[in-house]
Structure 1
Amino acid sequence: MVEWDVIVVGAGNAAFCAALAASESGARVLMLERAPKEENGGNSRFTAGAIRFAYDGVDDLRAIMPDLTDDEVAMTDFGTYTESQFFDDMFRVTEFRSDPDLCEALVRQSQGTMRWMHGLGIRFVPIYGRQAFKIDGKFKFWGGLTVETWGGGPGLVDRLTEIATERGIEIRYNARVVSLVHDGHAVQGVKVKTRTAIEEVHAKTVILACGGFESNAEWRTRYLGPGWELARTRGSRFNTGDGLRIALDIGASSAGNWSGCHAVGWDRNAPEFGDLAVGDGFQKHSYPFGIMVNANGRRFVDEGADFRNYTYAKYGRVILEQPNQFAWQIFDQKVLHTLRDEYRIKQVSKVTAPTLEELAEKLEGVNAANFLDEVRRYNEAVNTDIPFNANVKDGRSTVGLEIPKSNWANTIDEGPFEAYQVGCGITFTFGGLRIDPQTAQVLDVDLEPIPGLYTAGEMVGGLFYFNYPGGTGLMSGAVFGKMAGTAAAAAVNEK
């Protein structure tokens, strides 16, 4: 009977980082992926590849992007994103709930992990076009997010797969792990369901990195609350909570925000699960430069409360809570040039009209009279004395509205007008397993380490609450994946 040193469950960013770290330490690694090969990569394949990490200046960026040219540096204000700034963002957006030890591991190890990934052969590039606007001939990055992986999420997954294969790591697809082999003390392998049988595969350690329960409508309703079965899933249809279930079954401790998730404004007519051909194109994230109205024709959030990076992951929940679970994003000619590329895809729920009155009649499901009144009141409240600047929180706000717009407030008065209908798209769930923040080893309900069991990625509980800074998911997956792989291999070597 073949026994592996490390079994990694999953084949996304976190799983590959775990597998590669374990392999670097000499472990024999097997990866088990529930999806068929053509759908591999979990949620990582559906991301745009943005990845948040701490850096002190352009030299740190050049360490992971050595092909960054002098001309690019000269025409770009990359700014800094220090560890202190990263900490501030993490605690601010999670309302100071983020586990401090997990958060410290994430932030302190972020730059080193990026350098490690670059050393593996992962290519990074600046996120021009999505995170920087060109003002007076110079790009300026905002929101602490500067870098993405070459080829986005698909490029990241494909490159990680190539690297793992080159290093002799075996990957089995269509292999759904249904339970852990556990003797009451230690994990000794997994039971795997293939298309033909269920078999036991033995290993000295197991790393679970197979996502949350965002694709499980019943679990969403159970843990997130009524109505969540109506959300669309942005990513993989295979993330149904299998890893969480099998760990809890042997006494693992749950942790974190089980009633919380990352959820965004997502095209109202998107399919039930992510579409690899469209990727993340169904998202609609330029709302800070327009307004959003619900079925009653009323605004319901401060669209300009903060940079998109710090609000998009929580506004999906707010949209789901609106009448009939949708909203319309409204833009006029002044800001159309700021709309991200996802607004130009073919599969989009969009209406246009030369006047607001005609637009009101085209907004399906919306009270037209209320909408026109809302736009009138909003336009009268805009403080036009402050100049509009998309690169900073410009303070161009409304005055006297019950729901303010704190930044980037422009009157909606220059036609033709464009409107986009959005619903809620869930990305990943925040609840997960309790881990040792130094090793990513899973703890049991008595808060004791479970020998042989580690976890990474979406399955780590306690890092995110209520909200999430954009790009932190891939960084978390890489940091805790690398940590889990290194620790699992060390545990094997100690046996």
Structure 2
Amino acid sequence: MSEVIVIGGGIAGICAALELLDAGRRVLMLERDCAEKFGGLAKESFGGIFLVGTPEQRRAGIRDTPELALADWKAFGELDPNDRWPLAWAEAYVQRCHDDVGLWLRKRGVGFLPAPHWIERGLFTPGNSVPRFHIVWGTGHELALRLIDRLENHPQRERLDIRFDHRVENLLSSNGAITGCSGVTESEQRPFELHAGSVIVAAGGFNGNIERVRQHWHRDWGTPPPVILNGSHRYADGRLHDAVSAAGGRLTHLDSMWNYAAGVHHPRPRKPGHGLSLVPPRSALWLDWRGRRIGPMPLVTGFDTRDLVAQVCAQERQYSWQLMNRRIALKELAVSGAEHNPSIRDKKKFAFLRDLIFGNQWLYDEMTGNCEDFVVGRDLPELVAKMNALQGDDAVSLDEIRLAAESYDAQIDRGQTFHNDEQLRRIAYVRHWKGDRIRTCKFQKILDPKAGPLIAVREFIISRKSLGGIQTDLQSRVLDGAGQPIPGLFAAGEAAGFGGGGMHGLRALEGSFLGGCILSGRIAGQAAASIT
């Protein structure tokens, strides 16, 4: 019999298994997906990790400390000082991420791009004071492969049994302690029942279940939009949340989610409602369903992702458009994830530098040629006609969209000294950081005839991450309604709200998802090994 069952083959589960093997424990890992998908959603991710006090920061002249990071984290997430475990996990993460996430990965062959990205700077609520988003050279795909390789070539590999196609539905208990799990195989629906000394739940969140997303929609966002795209894992359905709750575990902050405002339909969908999360160009105009610029505060990415969702959801029709031209798209358009960043994923330095300097022609062609939400026009009348044809109505007004574009361009024509547009002020601000300057146009007009053709992108809210989840203490032990650990039961990664049932609060400083999976997975593995 295995000593520990790890439910979930994502990064949190893999890290837990590595720690268990290091301690010489017998481990059974159950993964619902197939072997080719081992590594979970992290394998498809961009691979950004929140780190503090790194060599990359120091080389860039950035002075960062855990104290500064924690102040940013608490302010941006609006953490309740009385919310014990989320706050404790936030403190633990910023104190430990340098050694127990970053250094731990470096020792396992994981490298990072030279310049950290500066995102979630904060809008009305302070965010990252300095750049902390460290991108894995090779994206999340490389990260997953490196850790899987460590697992498969571990000196104690014979103590590990990995079973794919296993869907866990229930936890088993005896005398108040968790002693195993039961479920069915995904493909054949063949039942199984397995026993162990303890169980680690690392099965992800519930944001792949759009009905649950609607059920737990935060009141700040009003009513859920009619269209919510799925940017989460196809098996992130909350099934294990139910199992933990049935076993007496406490679920917290389920209405705290990390969704995005700029989702588009995947050109080659692999699941219902499959969406891609765009990194919207800062030089594009963010418009409502009629073609009016959303405001009065213009929407600009990189400052407060949660607020972008709130602003789009506050519109009469809860989708939006972004208006840009080819020059802006080539320099600034990006899509989150390994799939649409092949030069970084495949570690092709010259291709990566080419895209930075000359623009990402491959991505431009891919999205304008294959994504249904992109429309291209030689001029505004043609573009608006295509926008309305795509939506199937006459909602977009040519007069409104012309007013938005011409007013913005007129501001640029006055010169930077007289810029009185908040979007232009923020573009000037972000260009002070070298990591953003190379990826941000310098006051590019929308209707510039030399920068065409024009492009409009229809964007929907896209579901991504559960910030709440199973409540755990600092040993990743699952807590019951009275705040006491349930013997034999641990949780890690997104299932645990990345630690404590919601260590981020309302907002995340980005990169703390992968980092949280690594840290909480390692802690869960170490804790389970110590009692088994």
TM-score when normalising by structure 2: 0.75
Aligned residue number for residue 404 of structure 1: none
2:256 to 248, 256, 260: 260
- Residue 204 in structure 1 maps to residue 236 in structure 2: no
Query: Which residue of the partner structure matches residue 13 of structure 1?
Result: 11
Q: Are the aligned partners of 2:116 and 2:132 in contact in 1 as well (CA < 8 Å)?
A: no
Please, which moves more after superposition, 345-354 or 154-163?
345-354
Partner of 2:318: 325
Task: Provide the TM-score with structure 1 as the length reference.
Answer: 0.81
Cα displacement (A) at 1:117: 2.5
Cα pair distance change 1:199/1:264, threshold 3 Å: same
State whether residues 117 and 134 of structure 2, in contact with CA within 8 Å, keep that contact through their aligned partners in structure 1: no
Partner-residue secondary structure (3-state), 1:325: coil
| Letter aligned with residue 210 of structure 1 | A
| Deviation of 1:20 (Å) | 0.9
> Distance between the aligned counterparts of 1:101 and 1:130, measured in 2?
26
Deviates most, 296-305 or 207-216: 296-305
Distance 1:272 1:184, change over 3 A: farther
Pick aligned residue for 2:387 from 363, 388, 402: 363
> What's the offset of the Cα at 1:49?
0.7
Equivalent AA in structure 2 for residue 291 of structure 1: L
> What runs of 5+ residues in structure 1 fail to find an aligned partner?
62-72, 133-140, 396-406
Matches within 5 A, 1:9-408: 9-55=7-53, 57-58=55-56, 77=60, 79-97=62-80, 99-113=86-100, 114-119=102-107, 121-126=108-113, 144-167=131-154, 168=157, 169-183=160-174, 185-194=176-185, 195-224=188-217, 226-227=223-224, 230-256=227-253, 258-270=254-266, 282-300=276-294, 308=302, 310-312=303-305, 315-316=308-309, 318-320=311-313, 322-332=315-325, 335-342=328-335, 343-344=363-364, 345-346=366-367, 347-348=370-371, 349-364=373-388, 365=391, 366-379=396-409, 384-385=416-417, 392-393=429-430
Residue number in structure 1 paired with 2:459: 422
| CA distance 1:488–1:156, change in 2 (3 Å) | same
State the Cα deviation string for residues 406-441 of structure 1 (Å, max 9, x = none): x987653423233222212111122201111x2011
Q: Distance in 2 between matches of 1:477 and 1:428?
A: 12
> Offset of 1:8 from its aligned partner?
0.9
Check the 8 A contact 1:30/1:170 in 2, yes or no. Answer: yes
Change (3 A) 1:356 1:306: closer
- Structure 1 SS opposite 2:112: strand
Match of 1:421, SS state, is strand
- AA aligned opposite 1:374: A
- Tell me the distance in 2 between the aligned counterparts of 1:229 and 1:22: 44
Aligned equivalents of 1:108 and 1:146: distance in 2?
16
Q: What are the Cα deviations for residues 183-235 of structure 1, in whole angstroms up to 9, with x where unaligned?
A: 25111111131235222211111111111111112212221275367311113
| Distance in 2 of aligned mates of 1:471 and 1:369 | 41
CA distance in 2, matches of 1:247, 1:304: 42
Q: 1:211 to 1:56 in 2, by over 3 A?
A: closer
| Partner Cα distance (1:143, 1:359) in 2 | 39
Q: 1:34–1:78: structure 2 CA closer, same or farther, 3 Å change rule?
A: farther
**Paired position in structure 2 for 1:463:** 503
Question: Structure 1 residue aligned with 2:524, among 472, 480, 484?
Answer: 484
What amino acid is the match of 2:475? Answer: T
Q: 1:31 to 1:122 in 2, by over 3 A?
A: farther
Superposition deviation, residue 93 in structure 1: 2.4
Query: Given the alignment, which residue of 446, 451, 457 partners 1:412?
Result: 446
Structure 2 distance, partners of 1:164, 1:490, is 20
1:462 alignment partner, SS class: coil
2-side partners of 1:457 and 1:25: how far apart? 20
Residues 31 and 271 of structure 1: CA distance in aligned 2, closer, same or farther (over 3 Å) = farther
| 8 Å contact kept, 2:260–2:309 | yes
Give the secondary-structure state (helix, strand or coil) at the position aligned to 2:507: coil
Deviations 1:139-160 (Å, cap 9, x if unpaired)? xx99623522342122222222
Q: In structure 2, do the counterparts of structure 1 residues 146 and 430 end up closer, same or farther at CA, with 3 Å as the change threshold?
A: closer
**What is the Cα deviation at residue 238 of structure 1?**
0.6
Q: Name the amino acid aligned to 1:288.
A: R
Specify the code of the residue in structure 1 equivalent to 2:88.
Answer: D
Query: Does structure 2 retain, via aligned residues, the 8 Å contact 1:320–1:423?
Result: no
Contact 1:18 1:482 in 2 (8 A): yes
CA distance in 1, matches of 2:141, 2:325: 33
Inter-partner Cα distance in structure 2 for 1:302 and 1:265: 17
Q: Which runs of 5+ in 2 are unaligned?
A: 120-127, 336-362, 433-440
Does the CA-based 8 Å contact 2:284-2:322 persist in structure 1? yes
Cα root mean square deviation, aligned:
3.3
Distance in 2 between residues matched to 1:240 and 1:273, nearest whole Å? 18
* Conserved 8 A contact 1:351-1:420: yes
SS in 2 for 1:117: helix
**Distance 1:303-1:27 versus aligned 2 partners, 3 A rule:** farther
Taking a change above 3 Å as real, the CA distance of residues 328 and 389 of structure 1, as seen in their structure-2 partners, is closer
> C-alpha distance in 2, partners of 1:441/1:253?
11
Q: For residue 373 of structure 1, report the CA deviation from its aligned partner.
A: 2.6
Q: How far apart are the structure 2 equivalents of 1:357 and 1:199?
A: 61
In the alignment, the residues of structure 2 paired with residue 273 and residue 93 of structure 1 have an alpha-carbon distance, to the nearest angstrom, of 34
Aligned to 1:64: none
Q: Give the 3 Å change call, closer, same or farther, for CA 337–394 of structure 1 in structure 2.
A: same
Alpha-carbon distance in structure 2 between the residues aligned to 1:410 and 1:217: 37
Report the Cα distance in structure 1 between the residues aligned to 2:209 and 2:268, rounded to whole angstroms: 11
Post-superposition offset of 1:491:
1.4
Aligned counterparts of 1:323 and 1:222: Cα–Cα separation in 2 = 21
Q: 1:214 to 1:155 in 2, by over 3 A?
A: same
Q: Share of identical aligned residues, percent? A: 22
CA distance in structure 2 between the aligned counterparts of 1:170 and 1:115, rounded to whole angstroms: 28
Moved more, 376-385 or 103-112: 376-385
- Contact 1:268–1:423, Cα closer than 8 Å, also in 2: yes
Distance change >3 Å, CA 291–CA 302, structure 1 → 2:
farther
Cα deviation for residue 88 of structure 1 reads 3.1
Q: Which moved more, 1:122-131 or 1:468-477?
A: 122-131
- Give the Cα separation in 2 of the matches to 1:142 and 1:408: 23
